[in-house]
Amino acid sequence: MKVFVIGIGLIGGSFTIDIKASFNEATIFGIDRSEENLDKALSLGLIDQKSSFDNLDEADVVIVAIPVDATVELLPVVLDKINDSCLVFDVGSTKKKLCEIISEHPKRRNYLATHPIAGTEFSGPQAAIANLYRGKTNIICEVEKTAFKLQERGMEIFSRLGMRIRYMDPASHDKHIAYVSHLSHISSFMLGKTVIEKEKNERDIFDMAGSGFASTVRLAKSSPAMWAPIFKQNKDNVVETLEEYIANLTQFKELIENDDFDTIYNEMKDTNHIKTILKGIS
């Protein structure tokens, strides 16, 4: 099985580690616009060979693991170049625009739209780790538009990597993922910004920061090159979540200003319910 990975960073590299471990017969070919990343990936053993778009016709599987704006541009080109029995899947955090753009492509049936809910705040080939996807959810959109044999090939990979599959339409995916993923990245980035602005001349104040702050602001370490295009493609949903979040924060601030600490207590008590909801996510 010849697997081509376009974009050999945290997400792409973590796929190749597990695929090499799960499929003895797999050979991994890396494509990346950064020659430095390709060299790193080769020396880290994430790929077996460096390759290029010109060789995509040899691929059995192509994994597109690049920022979502680049995926929208390159996925049609990739589909043009592959052979008729090749499976292509992407792993981006937005699905609607991408599914629209390739909906009329003659090789639409070679493409599977997926979003593995997995990652860390780090990036680049050196951030790739084994078992990143084990026990994680993989959301698949418009599965019925992918050729049955290629669905099967994808499922075999996701299954050996230990993923749970959920099916969803692209519009619902983008709407809900805005709440459970995109919003928390923005809340974290803006928390980091607020504190950095305040404390910029008082560096040792950060001695006061504990593990709670570190946890809440962890996502502010994430890659801007990955996240700016996500906010762009999911603009309407992200703006909606931000409006609701800002409204809740403003109401909480007003409750404090009005000394209504009973209501504040109850709001927090109700939100403690998140314990139950999050059980099992680590």
Q: Segment 189-228, which members bind a second copy (CB under 8 A)?
A: 189-199, 202, 204-222, 224-225, 227-228
What are the tokens at 211?
């593990």
Please report, as residue ranges, which positions from 237 to 266 form the binding site for a second copy (by CB under 8 A).
Answer: 238-239, 241-246, 248-250, 252-253, 256-257, 259, 261, 264-266
Please report, as residue ranges, which positions from 149 to 188 form the binding site for a second copy (by CB under 8 A).
Answer: 164, 166, 176-177, 179-181, 183-188
- Binding segment for a second copy (CB under 8 A), chosen from 10-18, 49-57, 144-152, 273-281, is 273-281
Q: Which is nearer to a second copy, 153 or 182 (CB)?
A: 182
Nearest to 18 by CA among 162, 216, 125: 162
What residue has token string 């494509």?
31
- Binding segment for a second copy (CB under 8 A), chosen from 38-46, 50-58, 134-142, 150-158, is 134-142
Q: Which one of residues 24, 25, 54, 272 is an interface residue with a second copy (CB under 8 A)?
A: 272
Q: Which one of residues 137, 151, 160, 171 is an interface residue with a second copy (CB under 8 A)?
A: 137
Strand order in the sheet with 111-116: 49-50, 27-31, 2-6, 61-64, 87-90, 111-116, 137-141, 164-168
- Binding segment for a second copy (CB under 8 A), chosen from 12-20, 23-31, 34-42, 115-123, is 115-123
Provide the minimum distance between the beta carbon of 7 and a second copy in the complex, in angstroms, as a whole number. 18
End-to-end CA distance of the chain: 33
